[in-house]
């Protein structure tokens, strides 16, 4: 008598898993650089906004930050910290100039892949002044463990 119930419950679980996996694959905004839907050659990053990466104000309390990851640094972030004001909404656009890297701002929900030829997008609010460490969380070569940077909310 309960068999049907269990079967239904099991089916529901399976559907749930599939939905979760699908969301994981498609949900977080990973978009191509150009509108035609093609990939870009990492060598032509200079022709995009990644040619001059950094912080751009796009609204009263809104900012965009373009970051290029490469072995073994974030530009900006590693040499000079990324600086954004407190009480702002910041959208990060992350790509890689060489191999796959990670871009994680420790202590925030910012945790994306930096993939050559693709742009990862993530938005976060910063209410208070603070300092955050940025780490590469994908193995990217011999000096992977040294690949880090800083984000300063002023
Ligand atoms: Cu870049 Cu690990």
> Which residue ranges make up each domain of the chain?
1-28, 33-153
3-state secondary structure of 6: helix
Ligand 1 centre to CA of 147 (Å) is: 6
Tell me the average pLDDT of the chain: 87
Checking if the pLDDT of 68 tops 70, the result is yes
Q: Which atom of ligand 1 is nearest to the CA of 101?
A: 1
Checking if the pLDDT of 31 tops 50, the result is no
The DSSP output letter for 109 is S
| CA dihedral sign, ordered 135, 136, 139, 142 | negative
Contact 82, 70 (CB under 8 A): no
At residue 35, the pLDDT reads 41
Whose tokens are 């910290």? That residue is: 81
Work out the widest C-alpha separation in the chain, in whole angstroms.
67
CA distance 96 to 68: 5
β-bridge partners, 130: 153
The DSSP output letter for 116 is B
At residue 2, the pLDDT reads 78
Name the residue at shortest CA distance from atom 1 of ligand 1. 101
Ligand 1 centre to CA of 105 (Å) is: 13
- Residue 34 banded pLDDT, cuts 50, 70, 90: very low
**Token pair listed for 152:** 């300063």
Ligand 1 centre to CA of 1 (Å) is: 55
> Domain 33-153 falls in which CATH fold?
Immunoglobulin-like (2.60.40)
Query: Which ipTM did the prediction report?
Result: 0.99
How do residues 94-137 score in pLDDT, each as one tens digit? 999 999 999 999 999 999 999 999 999 999 999 999 999 999 99
Q: Which atom of ligand 1 is nearest to the CA of 69?
A: 1
Cβ neighbours of 98 (radius 10 Å)? 15
Checking if the pLDDT of 27 tops 70, the result is no
- CB of 146 within 6 A of ligand 1: the answer is no
Residue count (the chain)? 154
């Amino acid at each position: 008598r309960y068999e049907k119930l269990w079967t239904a419950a099991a089916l529901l679980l399976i559907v749930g898993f599939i939905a979760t996996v699908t969301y994981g694959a498609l949900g977080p905004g990973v978009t191509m650089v150009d509108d035609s839907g093609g990939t870009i050659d990492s060598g032509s990053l200079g022709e995009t906004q990644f040619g001059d990466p950094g912080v751009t104000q796009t609204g009263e309390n809104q900012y965009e930050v373009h970051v290029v990851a490469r072995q073994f640094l974030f530009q900006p972030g590693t040499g000079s910290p990324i600086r954004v004001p407190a009480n702002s909404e910041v959208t990060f656009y992350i790509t890689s100039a060489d191999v796959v890297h990670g871009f994680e701002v420790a202590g925030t929900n910012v945790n994306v892949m930096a993939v050559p030829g693709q742009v990862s997008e993530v938005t976060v609010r910063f209410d208070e002044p603070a300092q955050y460490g940025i780490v590469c969380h994908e193995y990217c070569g011999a000096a992977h463990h040294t690949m880090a940077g800083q984000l300063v909310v002023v």
